Amino acid sequence: MKRPPSRMENIVNVVQSGGDYERLSQGIFENYLAQKVSDAAMQNTAEVADWFVFSDSLQKMINQQQNYSIYPYLPYTFAMWHSLLATLQRANISFPSKGFESSQKLQTHKMLMIALRKGLGSTVRGIGEGCVMLLDTLPLIRRILSPSIRSVSLQLLTPKERSDLQHAVEVMADLGVKFVQVKGIDGAFKYQMEPDIELLSFFRSSEDIPLSYWTRQLVAREVDLENMRRAKPKVGEVSKKKHEAKTPNHLQSLQPKKVVGNVSKYKELI
C-alpha cells in the first residue's frame, strides 16, 4: 500500500510545478515580515533569514559557476519556510515588485555615474571613482551646488551670497553639470540637474532646503555664461591655428629665391 505524501513532499511538488524559484522566493521575502506569526522570541524569523542566505548562495553558485547539480535542493528551502511561517490566519500577500524596482534604480544610477564621469573636466578627474565618489564626494558636492541665496536680483545679493553663487557655478562648470528646464508630472516647469546627481545623493532624512525655481534659473544662466566664457579662448586658438595653416603642396606656386651675400661676385661670373 502506497503511503500518503508527507507535508514536505507536498510543498516540494507544488513548488516544482511552479518552476520560477527566484520569483517565488522574492514573494516570500517581501511578505513574510508583514504576516502575523506567533514568534515572540523571533527565533523562527532569524531561522527564516538563514534559509534565505542559503537560497541566495545556491542561486549565486548556479548562476556564476553553472553548477546545476545543486538545483534540486532549491525547492526544499520553501518547505522549511512553510514549516516556520505557516499559520491558520489568512495571509495578505502582495505581488513581489521590490526586486524589479531595485534593479531599475541600480541601472539608472549606473548610467548617471557614467554620464557624470564623462562630463568631468581635466582639473577634477581625481575626485574619486565608484563607491568613493558616490559615498564621499557627491553628498558634499550637492551641498556646494545648493547655495543659500535670496530670491532677489543679482545686483542686490550680498558679497557672501555672490561668493557662494560663483563657487557653485564654477564647480558645476568643472563637473559638466547644468540645470535643464523640464516639465513635471503635474504640468509645471522646473529646473533639473543634468546629469541628475541629486538622485544619486538624495536621502529622505536629509535636512537640505531645496533651491527655489528662481534660484535654479539664476544658477542655470550663470553656468551657461561661465561655459561660454571658458570656451572663448579655445575658439580663438582654433581659428588662429587654421589661419596659420600651411598651403598644400599642390596649391603652392614657385617663388624666386632672394640672393643673399655679395651681388658683385655673381655679376662677374655672368
Q: How far apart are the first and last CA of the chain?
A: 134
pLDDT in tens, 104-128: 888 888 888 888 888 777 667 666 6
**Do residues 27 and 93 make contact, with C-beta atoms less than 8 angstroms apart?**
yes
Q: What is the mean pLDDT of the chain?
A: 81
Q: CA 191, CA 229: separation in Å to the nearest integer?
A: 22
Q: What pLDDT is attached to residue 34?
A: 82
C-alpha cell, 209: 532646503
Residue 191, C-beta contacts closer than 8 angstroms, at least 6 positions apart: 179, 180, 181, 182, 213, 216, 217, 220
In the predicted model, what is the mean pLDDT of residues 240-252? 64
- Give the three cell numbers for residue 40: 515572540
With cut-offs at 50, 70 and 90, classify the pLDDT of residue 60: very high
Question: Quick count: other Cβ atoms within 10 Å of Cβ 135?
Answer: 11
> In this predicted structure, what is the pLDDT of residue 143?
81
Three-class SS of residue 96? coil
Q: How far out from the chain centre does Cα 82 lie? A: 38
Q: Is the pLDDT of residue 24 over 70?
A: yes
Residue 14 to residue 261: CA distance in whole angstroms: 107
Residues found in the chain:
270
Inter-CA distances, 228 with 1, 153, 176, Å: 89, 22, 13
DSSP H or E stretch at residue 108: helix 98-119
* Sign of the torsion angle spanned by Cα atoms 193, 199, 201, 204: positive
Q: State whether residue 34 is helix, strand or coil.
A: helix
| 13-22, 54-63, 114-123, 247-256: range with lowest mean pLDDT | 247-256
CA angle 149, 189, 109 (to 5 degrees): 80
Instruction: For residue 58, give the nearest of 78, 32, 31, 40 by alpha carbon.
Output: 78
* pLDDT of res. 54: 93
Model confidence, pTM: 0.60
Closest by CA to 178, choosing from 124, 216, 139, is 216
Kindly list the domain boundaries of the chain, sorted by start residue. 7-95, 99-231
CB 112 within 8 A of CB 41: no
